[in-house]
Structure formats: C-alpha cells, structure tokens
Amino acid sequence: DTGVSQDPRHKITKRGQNVTFRCDPISEHNRLYWYRQTLGQGPEFLTYFQNEAQLEKSRLLSDRFSAERPKGSFSTLEIQRTEQGDSAMYLCASSLNRGWGTGELFFGEGSRLTVL
Amino acid sequence: AQSVTQPDIHITVSEGASLELRCNYSYGATPYLFWYVQSPGQGLQLLLKYFSGDTLVQGIKGFEAEFKRSQSSFNLRKPSVHWSDAAEYFCAVGAHNAGNNRKLIWGLGTSLAVNP
C-alpha cells in the first residue's frame, strides 16, 4: 500500500474556473476526510465520508464546494467559480472506522491550489 | 468550547539542543491527543498519540510527549534535535461533535528552525 495519494499536487487556475481534486485513500480505510490549510494555519475541517456517505460538512464548505465518494473508495473535491480566497492546500486523510485508539488519520501530501 | 493552543508560533534551536513544544487544550471529557509533523511541501505525519494509561508516550523520530491533566497540557519533547527536525508541528485533540462524529481540533502550529 502506498498510502494516501492526491492529484494534482499543484493546480494554478484563473478566478472563475472550476477545479477538481482527487484523493485515493489507503485501501482498507472506510473514512475519508478533506481539510483545507492556509499558510501559517492548522488544517481546517471541510467534510468527511464513511464509505460513500457524507456524514458531516463544515460551514466553511460553501455551495461552490462539493465532495463525492461514489463507490466508497476514491473521493473528489470540486470547487466551482474559484475565488482568490480559495487559494490553499487541500489535504485528504483516511482512517479506519474505529475508536481513536486505532482511528488515527493518515494524510496525503496535499493539493495546492493557486487562484490568479 | 473545544480548542487547542500552541503558544509558540516559531522556535529556533541549535542542532543537538533539547526541544520542548508546548500544547494546551480545552476539552470537557477525556482527551485524545495527537502530535503531527509537517515538513515543507509534505503532508502531515503522526508523531505520537495519547489515549489513556502512561502519561509519557513515545513516538517516532525520538520524540516523546507528556500528558498533564492538571495543566491541560501535552508538550512535545526531544532530547537532541537534528537538522532534519526542522518542520511545522501541530498538536490536535480528538473530539466528538454534537452528532457524535469524531473530528480533530487543531492548533495553529509551531514552526521549528534548527541552526547548524
């Protein structure tokens, strides 16, 4: 297993364009999380899935943001009509659905979005 | 409200010197505590975690942390810092929200620089 992978690693786009990020979690992990991180800040929770069900969405996730995990494996995060304030690192993490003792999060290397 | 405070935004130490990074949390129940490290351009990697039992926990890369309930602290330590330890360090507490969904609450991070 190669861990959590994210694609693309870096995306530069013009304001108003749509972008999509993909996350492939560790294969046996049924929980998948999306976080956003800006410079000098800790990760901010966006949303998470248990299998294909989206169980929680942060109020940070405006209606321009949508996340899917159609078959309970990989996930996509789409941002429509990007704004300069969307520029950030988008982190994906996965975990097993167990208690905190074994439910640690494994993170990908992130997808950095730059909106010009 | 649940929160994590890392009082030191930036710390510089000399290689070979000892290190202590501070973390204070606010959480009403028994906390599940984590330290993550993020190297430049990389994802977050779990250093260590505390759930119960021995309040001194050992992690990877020679790090340890001590849980002190009376002080609501979970400080990270290393006896001798290596240049490769230069990175951003994040403390996090595992919590349950109103829907009993698990989530991590993050500190803002401490940036560690190591002088040769």
Q: Which two tokens stand for residue A72?
A: 């309970």
pLDDT of residue A58: 87
pLDDT of residue A59: 84
Q: Read off the pLDDT of residues A18-33 as tens digits, 9 standing for 90 and up.
A: 999 999 999 988 889 9
pLDDT of residue B77: 98
pLDDT of residue B103: 74
The answer to whether residue B60 neighbours chain A at the CB level (below 8 Å) is: no
Which residues, other chains included, contact A45 with Cβ-Cβ below 8 Å and sequence gap of 6+? Answer: A33, A35, A58, A60, B103, B104
Q: Which two tokens stand for residue A93?
A: 């993490």
The answer to whether residue B51 neighbours chain A at the CB level (below 8 Å) is: yes
Q: How do B10-14 and B110-115 pair as beta strands?
A: parallel
Q: What is the mean pLDDT of chain A?
A: 90
- Separation of alpha carbons A16 and A116, rounded Å: 10
pLDDT of residue A102: 47
Span between the terminal Cα atoms of chain B, in Å: 41
Q: Read off the pLDDT of residues B46-91 as tens digits, 9 standing for 90 and up.
A: 999 998 888 999 999 999 999 999 999 999 999 999 999 999 999 9
Nearest chain A Cα distance for residue B81, angstroms: 22
Whether A41 sits inside 8 A of B45 (CB atoms) is: no
* Edge-to-edge strand ranges of the sheet holding A5-7: A5-7, A19-24, A75-79, A65-68
Q: What is the mean pLDDT of chain B?
A: 90
The answer to whether residue A26 neighbours chain B at the CB level (below 8 Å) is: no
pLDDT of residue B29: 74
Name the more confident of A2 and A60: A60
Backbone φ/ψ region at B53: left (φ over 0), alpha (ψ -120 to 50), beta: left
Give how far Cα A30 sits from Cα of A47, A48, B21, B85, Å.
14, 10, 33, 32
What DSSP letter does each residue of chain B carry, written as one string?
A: --EEE---SEEEEETTS-EEE--EEE-SS--EEEEEEE-TT--EEEEEEE-SS-SEEE-GGG-EEEEEGGGTEEEEEESS--GGG-EEEEEEEEEE-TT--EEEEE---EEEEEE-
pLDDT of residue A104: 78
Q: Read off the pLDDT of residues A56-80 as tens digits, 9 standing for 90 and up.
A: 888 878 899 999 999 889 999 999 9
pLDDT of residue A83: 96
Q: Mean pLDDT, to the nearest integer, of A29-40?
A: 90
Whether residue A101 is predicted with pLDDT greater than 60 in this model: the reply is no
Q: Mean pLDDT, to the nearest integer, of A34-39?
A: 91
